[in-house]
Amino acid sequence: MPRSIIANGPVHLHTASATDLPSALATLHQLAAASEDGWRRLVVNLTSPLDPIRELCGRAIGRRLVFRTRSGRIIAGVDAALRGDWIDDATLSDLRVLLPDASFLAWSRFDPAVEGSPEWMPFGRRGWILPRLQLESDGSKQRLVGYLLPGERPEAIEPARASLLVPRRSAVTARMYREEEGQDFQAMVGKAVQTIRSGDIEKVVLARRVDYALSEPIDAAYVLHHLATEGHYAFLIESGEHAFLGSSPERLSRRTGLRLQTEMLAGTVRARSADDAMQLLESGKDRHEHDVVVRSVCERLQPVASGVKGEDQVAVVPAAGGLWHLRRRLELTLNEAIDDAAILGLLHPTPAVCGRPTDNARSFLTSLEGFDRGLYAGPIGIFDGSGHDVAVGIRSLRLSPTTATLFAGAGIVRDSLPEMEFAETEAKMAVARAALPGTG
């Protein structure tokens, strides 16, 4: 993306109001036709509530992006006004000056240094997008926002606008057929435990991949609509016929000004009630697994932040599918205005998705897992004028026209039992399976 486009400000803002989405789309068309040349931000405030994810179901298939924060803020976009590689600091700074009220969606592979396998190639190693058209909701306010770049005619926004006016395609009732796994996960856990006990690594997070053959393509937005869980992040990235989506309980990083929040989610049990889940606090294995993550994150942030709060507070928190986790939250004050890319570079990958020491664990899991994680367990989030809110891309799946691929991982320490770790990954995958059509 030419930097000259970003530098070619200022941005002309055009606003209006409408009652519902059809009238908002008509109003947006009028704003686009009447606006002058240069950067144009077209905003239509809606007086009636709507569900942005639901509005994308059955529409604009193959061209959608969604991110929902844990607090319920939603950005649901169609097409791209701007796109690029992972947001570098200079580009992000320029964009924030030009468009302080805009939201950019960004994502990265678990290991962007590694070339992607063919099934992950449509997503690239990393990427960011300013949606051409997006529905925004923060619970109390909803709006439709469109962008036109310098030199673009009003017609540039028409494909995205028109795609939200057409009747929805109905949800399909595809059948799913589980295929043979190409790995023996319990044997992998056994090898990992042996390596840990030898002292080469302290913890490693092993992932499983399970493929399902599909009788027909599935609309990813319908799946996300069923998968999204209150209090979790939700995300969807589409590239033509391919989609990556999920509903993650884990925050990697949230920055507002100099205030930084991160958390460590490690240690898992499936329980019917909060009282039953309290066994996590008594589990030496789970507490050790969790403490490894906490120590690592604190060490990484110590040079750039101070005023740590919550380091010694551990909680047992619920997640989708009857799962419960140990979680510690950290709130810190950055020593200076450190940029977002540097913060994420310090944090990712945490021992909650990779292991400790990082390089040894990453090398070990890459050789043992036998498949490309792609975007699974990578960072994905939104960046705006005030900071960023980035999730860890877990509890996720990849969709193609013929295959649904589910991912799940488990943290392995010296006391891990292979059958228990396998059961944990099955419980995590069950959440995504429940949002998909029936299995055969």
| 3-state SS track over the chain | CCHHHHHCCCEEEEEEEECCHHHHHHHHHHHHHHCCCCEEEEEEEECCCCCHHHHHCCCCCCCEEEEECCCCCEEEEEEEEEEECCCCHHHHHHHHHHCCCCCEEEEECCCCCCCCCHHHHHHCCEEEEEEEEEEEECCCCEEEEEEECCCCCHHHHHHHHHHCCCCCCCCCCCCEEECCCCCCHHHHHHHHHHHHHCCCCCEEEEEEEEEEEECCCCCHHHHHHHHCCCCCCEEEEEECCEEEEECCCCEEEEEECCEEEEEEEEEEEECCCHHHHCHHHHCHHHHHHHHHHHHHHHHHHCCCEEEEECCCCCEEEEEHHHEEEEEEEEEEEECCCCCHHHHHHHHCCCCCCCEECHHHHHHHHHHHHCCCCCCCCCEEEEEECCEEEEEECCCEEEECCCEEEEEEEEEECCCCCHHHHHHHHHHHHHHHHHHCCCEC
Calculate mean pLDDT across residues 136-155: 93
Chain segment 299-352, per-residue pLDDT in tens? 999 889 887 776 668 899 999 999 999 999 999 999 887 889 889 999 999 999
Residue 364 has pLDDT above 80, yes or no: yes
Chain segment 386-427, per-residue pLDDT in tens? 899 999 999 999 999 999 999 999 999 999 999 999 999 999
**11-18 and 39-46: which strand pairing?**
parallel
What mean pLDDT, rounded, does the chain reach?
92
CA atoms within 13 A on the CB side of 205: 30
**For residue 26, what is the domain's CATH number?**
3.60.120.10
Question: What pLDDT does 139 receive?
Answer: 78
The percent of residues above 90 in pLDDT, for the chain, comes to 78
Question: What pLDDT does 82 receive?
Answer: 93
Chain segment 244-288, per-residue pLDDT in tens? 999 999 999 999 999 999 999 988 999 999 999 999 999 999 999
Task: Work out the pLDDT band at 93, boundaries 50, 70, 90.
Answer: confident
Domain count, the chain: 1
Calculate mean pLDDT across residues 106-122: 94
Residue 64 bridge partners (DSSP): 78
pTM listed for this prediction = 0.95
Q: Would you state the structure tokens that stand for residue 188, as one six-digit string?
A: 């992998």
339 found inside a domain:
no
Residue 219 has pLDDT above 60, yes or no: yes
Residue 289 has pLDDT above 50, yes or no: yes
Task: Work out the pLDDT band at 5, boundaries 50, 70, 90.
Answer: low
Q: What are phi and psi of 419, to 5 degrees?
A: -70, -35
Calculate mean pLDDT across residues 365-379: 95
Whether residue 333 contacts residue 258, with contact meaning beta carbons closer than 8 Å, is answered with yes
The catalytic residue positions are: 203, 250
Residue 189 has pLDDT above 60, yes or no: yes
15 found inside a domain:
yes
Residue 6 has pLDDT above 90, yes or no: no
Residues 6+ apart with CB under 8 A from 306: 332, 333, 335
Which domain, by its residues, includes 21?
3-163
Question: What pLDDT does 440 receive?
Answer: 43
What count of other Cβ atoms lies within 10 Å of the Cβ of residue 156? 17
Whether residue 249 contacts residue 319, with contact meaning beta carbons closer than 8 Å, is answered with yes
Calculate mean pLDDT across residues 86-109: 87
Single out the residue of 414, 430, 274 nearest to residue 422, CA to CA.
430
| CA dihedral angle for residue 234, residue 240, residue 241, residue 242, rounded to 10 degrees | -40
174 found inside a domain:
no
Task: Work out the pLDDT band at 89, boundaries 50, 70, 90.
Answer: confident
Question: What pLDDT does 439 receive?
Answer: 53
352 found inside a domain:
no
365 found inside a domain:
no
98 found inside a domain:
yes
Prior bond of 2 cis (ω within 30°): no
191 found inside a domain:
no
195 found inside a domain:
no
